[in-house]
Chains A and B, each alone.
Chain A
Amino acid sequence: MLDVAGLRVSFGAIEAVHGVSLRVRHGETHCLVGESGCGKSVTALAIMGLLARGARRRAERIGFDGTDLLALSDRGMGRLRGSRIGMIFQEPMTSLNPAYTVSSQLTEVYRRHRGGTRAAATERAAALLGRVGISAPGLRLGQFPHQLSGGLRQRVMIAMALMCDPDLLIADEPTTALDVTVQAGILRLLAALQAEMGLALLLITHDLGVVARVAHQVSVMYAGEVVESAPVAALFARPTHPYTQGLLASVPVPGKLRRGQPLDPIPGSVPRIPPDFVGCGFRERCRFAMPACAVAVPLRERAPGHSYLCQLTP
């Protein structure tokens, strides 16, 4: 469904994403995991063609269901956005326009891409609000965003992304800004909608708990690169890249951890990658680092669908 290869995004001299390859299949939830600042959101915006001014996007391939997004004009991209590719943002508090009611924002997307009467669009909006778990959709349709709570707004955002029956949904940390109980509800909803509508879902998160619950395929990003990509069971059972191993080791597991026992964090923090950097971005924090890490790193395949970017062999 979505096929990205060799995606690079640079802001001036800084390359925020260098060489990301991703493949999201029809009806699959693909999680993109990584620390803050590793380039997850920029990757999503680059796929949508919504990078800020001053950013440069290059890629070997960005394909969506047989369409080459790199060759597509702005207008062609505009026709895809919102109709065949939906997107949900991190901040539900600011992602809805405060000047319009829920109803007018929902129907507008639908009528832009599908046309039809206002009444038909409103009916669809009400049905979708019900589907995303909002009780009294009729009441909510007439309300303004400031009258809704964060969880409700995120549900409205999801409904908005689904108005035109997209094939691909990109969700950029949809639960980060919400509190824990609401997070669970939103995730369950996304997983249910994904299964029910056969969506391809690209879910960006830094929460490994989320990954374990909803993902089929996982890509781990570090400093602008996908360092490991694997089916979810394989990733948790046999993490291969030292960064993935460190990431999994640093998550506290209830029951396994005694009170007062320190967690096992990855030493150091995400480095700034200079523009002419070659080799493995993780080598300065890696306990297995060797001289060979300073030259180009091979992409190795451990099992079908499980690849990683490291000098080590499993």
Chain B
Amino acid sequence: MLRHLPTALGALIVGAALLAALFGPSLVPHDPFAQDLLRRLVPPAWLGGDAAHPLGTDQLGRDYLARLVYGARISLVIGVVAALTSGLIGITLGVLGGFFGGWVDDLVMFAITCRLSIPLILVALAVVSAVGSSLSVVVLTLGLLLWDRFAVVARTTTMQVRRLDYVAAAQAAGASGFHVLWREVLPNIAHHLVVVATLEVALAILLEAVLSFLGLGVPAPLPSWGLMIAEGRDYMFFEPWVIMVPGLSLFVLVLGINLLGDGLRDLLAASRDA
């Protein structure tokens, strides 16, 4: 039981973030966009603020809790959609390369090498500044850039699985190439890919925060955690909680996703050895 404690903790954090993202905005009584210039930079409740704003307000008087839960929604959407997009690209490439080998594999390896030689943040910055920043541009950019780990893992695990007897047995039973890929190989590498997916979700969330912090992520009135840190930067010496609240949330969420991913890997490995 103690062995699964980190996993449980990770699941708890991710679950809480999901709930907050789903229901938070409708539960918090404040509008994340409503400004109240008379009540700017109200500190959180435990630092002597008032109970109406448990996490205080920002420099424009917007409720920090409302912005935080709304920002969780944006972070998770970006993380999940980017991971799905990159998963689709990476898994397709990796499985094809690992299964067919030969020139197909050479091509896939070349694509992976090209991708790895691209500086991620620079390209993301260039694309966003050229096309203009919006939620969908950020998601797509990250999705099109983060597929390398999916491809590498899918490729090597496919290579391992395709040598196994049950793949030969399926072919001996008359299965076609596509059938072998879809029904024999994919289900048996899925547990590796789930772990990669959790890592990529965490990475995409962090990268979105970085882009938003640099002013090239989610455009301004939308509450993103990275943007909240960026906006709080000017006040950090006077009101450090302004960046601590979103910063800590980011840290805890990414930690939770990583713990969950590690735990899933162990659990899936254990259930397959049983």
Q: Which residues of B contact A79 (CB under 8 A)?
A: 174
Residues of A in contact with B, size category: 20 to 34
Provide the bound-state CA to CA distance between A96 and B176, in Å: 17
When A53-B101, A146-B274 are in contact, do A95 and B165 touch as well, CB less than 8 Å?
yes
Q: Are B188 and A89 in contact (CB under 8 A)?
A: no
- The number of inter-chain residue pairs (CB within 8 angstroms) is 68
Please tell me which one of the listed residues B166, B179, B274 contacts residue A96 in the complex, with CB atoms under 8 A apart: B166
Q: Which residues of B contact A99 (CB under 8 A)?
A: 187-188
Residues of B in contact with A, size category: 20 to 34
In the assembled complex, how far is the CB of residue B192 from the closest CB belonging to chain A, in whole angstroms?
13
| Interface 1/0 per residue, B90-105 and A, CB below 8 Å | 0000000000011000
Q: Are A109 and B174 in contact (CB under 8 A)?
A: yes
B272 within 8 A of A: yes
A56 within 8 A of B: no
Q: Are B165 and A78 in contact (CB under 8 A)?
A: no
Q: Which residues of A contact B272 (CB under 8 A)?
A: 98, 146
Provide the bound-state CA to CA distance between A108 and B164, in Å: 19
Please tell me which one of the listed residues A81, A100, A146 contacts residue B173 in the complex, with CB atoms under 8 A apart: A81
When A94-B164, A95-B166 are in contact, do A82 and B172 touch as well, CB less than 8 Å?
yes
B contacts with A: majority SS: helix
Q: Which of A86, A97, A112 has the most CB of B within 10 A?
A: A97
Q: Are A83 and B174 in contact (CB under 8 A)?
A: yes
Q: Are B169 and A89 in contact (CB under 8 A)?
A: yes
Provide the bound-state CA to CA distance between A49 and B168, in Å: 11
Q: Which residues of B contact A53 (CB under 8 A)?
A: 101-102
Q: Are B174 and A80 in contact (CB under 8 A)?
A: yes
Q: Are B173 and A91 in contact (CB under 8 A)?
A: no
A216 within 8 A of B: no
B231 within 8 A of A: no
Q: Which of B168, B174, B175 has the most CB of A within 10 A?
A: B174
Provide the bound-state CA to CA distance between A179 and B269, in Å: 28
| Interface 1/0 per residue, B139-170 and A, CB below 8 Å | 00000000000000000000000001110111
A157 within 8 A of B: yes
Provide the bound-state CA to CA distance between A146 and B166, in Å: 13
- Which residue in chain A gives the minimum CB-CB distance to B186? A99
Q: Are B175 and A96 in contact (CB under 8 A)?
A: no
Residues of A112-167 contacting chain B, CB below 8 A: 112-113, 146, 157, 160-161
16 A-B residue pairs with CB within 8 Å: A48-B172, A78-B175, A79-B174, A81-B174, A82-B172, A89-B165, A89-B168, A89-B172, A94-B164, A95-B166, A97-B187, A97-B188, A109-B174, A112-B173, A112-B175, A161-B173
